[in-house]
Amino acid sequence: MIVNRLTVDGKDYFLPDPVTELRAKILDAVKAGGGYVNIPPLRSGPGVDILFSPGMPVVWTQLDVGSETDEDDSAAQDDF
């Protein structure tokens, strides 16, 4: 499962795929000189509104959660 981490002003927000539409909304807000964008929650809830403005540091990271190493670890535990 791919989880996206959005870091805004030092705070992390975790989002499921796809984030294409959200990225476009953030870019539009910045191009407009600033604006609020709703960041949806990872599971449920209303999310959070963040004011994005030009010059605000925004970092996107993709994380692979539940990769093959988890399966290898469980297989090793079964041998004991």
User: Given pLDDT bands bounded at 50, 70 and 90, which one contains residue 80?
Assistant: very low
At 41 the pLDDT is 84
Q: How many residues does the chain have?
A: 80
Asked whether the whole model's pTM tops 0.75, one would answer no
At 23 the pLDDT is 94
pLDDT tens per residue across span 22-63: 999 999 999 999 999 999 887 888 889 999 999 999 999 998
Spatial distance between the Cα atoms of 8 and 56, rounded to a whole number of angstroms: 8
DSSP string, 16-61: ESP-HHHHHHHHHHHHTT-EEEEE--SSSS--EEEEE-TT--EEEE
